[in-house]
Each structure stands twice: as structure tokens, then as C-alpha cells.
Amino acid sequence: MRVASPYYTRPVFDSLKTLPPDAILGIMTLFRADSNPRKVDLSVGVYQDETGRTPVLECVKRAEREILEVQDTKTYVAIAGNPGFNRGVEELLYGKAHAAVAAGRVATVQAPGGSGGLSVAAHLLARVRPGMKVHMSDPTWPNHSPLLQLAGLTLEQYPYYDYAAHRVKFDAMTAALEKVAAGDSVLLHGCCHNPCGADLTREHWNALAGICERRGIVPFIDIAYQGLAEGLDADAYGVRLMAERLPEVVVVTSCSKNLGLYRERVGAVSVVSKTKAARDLVLANLANVARSIYSMPPDHGAAIAERVLHTPELRSLWDKELTEMRSRLNGLRTLFVKELKKRNVSMDFSFIANERGLFSFLGITKEQVVRLREQFHVYMIESSRINVAGINKANADYVADSIAAVLEG
């Protein structure tokens, strides 16, 4: 017979709190349970092709076959990850001849996805100054907050998106950032802002670089969609400018979207320091943080990305496939606006054609979102954020008809 311990009082896990349901996962569950053949999912957060699949790129398939043919071990890679991948990431982010890279002032560490990169970067900032303030856009990607808070950072918000005018509230944004204290960090979306799709212009980036210089702010750039707005080089304008103008910059990137390596978890954190000596300190601390969180990074996805980035034939194929994805997204935006305009709806949706990436807010009410789901089987998050890639030529008419019916009904 088991004798109860005199010290035992209650199960330790009973103290855990019930968590609110995840908004996106809840919508996905409802969509899967819907048997209507016309159902459309505009909530999912990944790229989809014309058939609704998230495809494996041909350049990835070829690289993977080559790797499997020659790979002879599954032992760990270095804590900092695949060196060739890290060099390739630096070239994507900063270009081939950036002064910061040439001076040896850039430290890059492979991470398990963009989320892993954000976590490593956040813990690095927390080591620099416990409780350091990071100012985030309103709105921002929902996972930014828990990832940064888990590292012990203090989070603030600055105005970013005007929900009524569907544009960046740049005057309000800069007014807020002019009050940010020296040594604080500002989290900026490099391109394809998630969730609103409204990006900073080059003029905006130039002005922000000036503010960061004057006030001693550390830019923290999350660029998870490089290549899906205007192109690989164009989308890196803000990163390259900040690294040119500022002594210290933190950049986190991901290969989930532009290489379609979602489940392989391929990302990186790259830090620009004022001197090479400071860069060496940063690299040692980045590796130590990574060691403390997950020990060693996964190899397979980064090995694929390295091969694509450094093999001319595969790189050329990737450029072609990435251009096709980007053109499809931007073309869908134009098509969607055109279809809505043809229906003479009361709202002006022309802003959607000017935004970039996967996401945009429709700007309709929660009640209208619910009606779209329950009556027309068109699913989106209740904030009215849609994934443009969920639209295709087969469902564009139906989606536009459904939205028109809800707006005018």
C-alpha cells in the first residue's frame, strides 16, 4: 500500500491558470469542422499557391536531394550554427559590400526560426540591461509580446497604423519615438508588416534613422518576409540604412516565408556593433544565450538554405520562384480590389493594393466578420485581418460577393 507523504498537500500543476483560446487556432478549428464546399480560409498565416497548398520550392527540393546524397553524419553543428548559412544571411540582409560587414562588426547566429531569433535577441538585450524597454508598433505580430516579455524586457507601444485611413500614422509615430529614452530599443518591421501590410517608405526609414541617431535608440528590426514585398534588395533598405547610420543594430530574420521552410525552423539573429571587439563580445554572448535556451540549432533547414544561397543555379531558381510568389501576392491584391470595386460596395478597399506581404485589415466590424463566417463560410480573424494568399482565381468572385453582401445587407 502506498503511504501518503505527510508533506503532500495538492497537485502542483493545479495552480496553473486557464488560458484564453488562441484566436487564430480557434478560427482554424472552426474552418476544419465546416463541411461547406465553398468555404474559404483567409485566416491561415502561411503562403498558399493557386491550389491552396503551401508548396515545397523546387530549389529546396534540389538542395535537399544533394544534401542527402553527400551527408555522412548527424552530429551537432556549432552553437552559432552553419557558418555558410550565416554568411549567406549576412549577404541577404546587408548586401555584398556593406561597410559594417567588411569591418567585421557584424555577428550572426543561426536560430530555430524567426521566433528563436527573437528569443535569443531579447535575452541578449536583457543581459545588456535587465528590464530594457522595447517599443513596439501598434499593432504588431501577436507573438512579439510573449517572446520579448519571457526574456524580461519591458514593452511599450508607439502609434503605427491608422485603422480608419489605412495607412501608417507616421507623424504620430515619430512624435512618440522622439520621446524614447537613450538606450531603449525600437522594434520595426523590415517589410510586409504583420498584421496590417502597411510598410514604411524609404523616406520614413531615412527619418527614423535620424531619430535613432539623435536619441541614441537601438533599432531592433524583424524582417521575416524579405523578398515578398518589392524584392530582396529593396526590402532590405531599412536594415542596410540603419546598419550604415547607427553604431548598433539588432536584426532578426526567417527563411520560413521566402524559402518556404516553415517546419524546418530556419532563422537567424544578426547584430551590428560599434567595434570589432564589441562584435566579438556580442557573438560570445549570443552563443551563450543560445546554449542556455536550446543548446544546439537544427541543421537540416539551414543546410538547405546555405546550398540555395551559395549554389548559382539554385540561387537563380530561388530568385525566379520568389519573384513568382511576390508577383502572385501583389497581383491578388490588385485583383481583390478590382472585384470589390466592380460590386460598387460602400467602402473603398483601394488601400489593399498598396499594402504588401500576406496580410491586410479589411476594416469591417466584428459582427460583419462573424456573419461572413456563419452565413458565407468565409473565415478570417475577428480583427478583420486577412491572408491575401488565401484568395485565388477560383474563389475571388465568391469572396467579393460575400463581402459585398455583408456590407450592403
Active-site positions read 141, 222, 257
Instruction: Tell me: cis bond preceding 219? Omega within 30 of 0 counts.
Output: no
Handedness of CA 177, 183, 184, 189 (dihedral sign): positive
Q: Which residue has the cell 549567406?
A: 88
Angle, CA of 27, 228 and 309, to the nearest 5°: 120
> What H or E segment, with its residue span, contains residue 76?
none
The full length of the chain comes to: 409
- In one letter, which amino acid is 279? R
Answer whether 268's CB lies under 8 Å from 81's CB: yes
Answer whether 369's CB lies under 8 Å from 382's CB: yes
* Residue 340 CB partners (closer than 8 Å, separation 6+): 347, 349, 400, 403, 404
Answer whether 343's CB lies under 8 Å from 401's CB: yes
Q: Which three cell numbers stand for residue 226?
A: 524579405
